Amino acid sequence: MPLAKIVYASMTGNTEEIADVVAEKLESLGLDVDLDECTAVDASDFQEADIVIVASYTYGDGELPDEIVDFYDDLQDLDLTGKVFGVIGSGDTFYDEFCKSVDDFEAAFTKTSATKGADSVKVDLAAEEEDIAKLEAFAETLAAKVN
């Protein structure tokens, strides 16, 4: 069975919630899923997965959360050729740089030679029904790339 590895950073619980939505959908599609908080794993753990996903919130005026900076730096040094990646995140439209961490992680994955499996999903604060539908479609698109 294909393995999807999801790594997340969450301060308020919003990003963990959106990571959970994606994890549950992937499991319902028959994939094995590892869901881990970013400080509990190393970026190199992505090498054992078929689908690699980062879920991060954006802090303040577009900064990566402190707890995921090392993971972000290490990710860019990996060769993830043959892996399918996706990025999701939460932010606040109050700020000019809405969900910039999502864009930063997309750029980082591009350096790894991983294949983009689905368009990123950006959620304003907590996920609502429309966001959940987008997250589930994101998961379905990723799963289709490895099944």
pLDDT tens string 45-77? 999 999 999 999 999 889 999 999 999 999 999
**Exposure string over 50-87, b if 16+ CB within 10 A, otherwise e:** bbbbbbbbbbeebebbeebeebbeebeebebeebbbbb
Q: Please report the pLDDT score of residue 109 as a whole number.
A: 98
In this predicted structure, what is the pLDDT of residue 147?
73
The pLDDT of residue 97 is 94
Residue 100 sits in a domain whose CATH number is: 3.40.50.360
> What is the value of pTM for the model shown?
0.97
Number of domains composing the chain: 1
pLDDT at 61: 87
113-142: buried (b, 16+ CB within 10 Å) or exposed (e) per residue?
A: ebeebbebbbbeeebeeebbebbbebbeeb
Domain of 104 in residue numbering reads as: 3-144
Residue 12 tokens read as 């308020």
Average per-residue pLDDT for the chain: 97
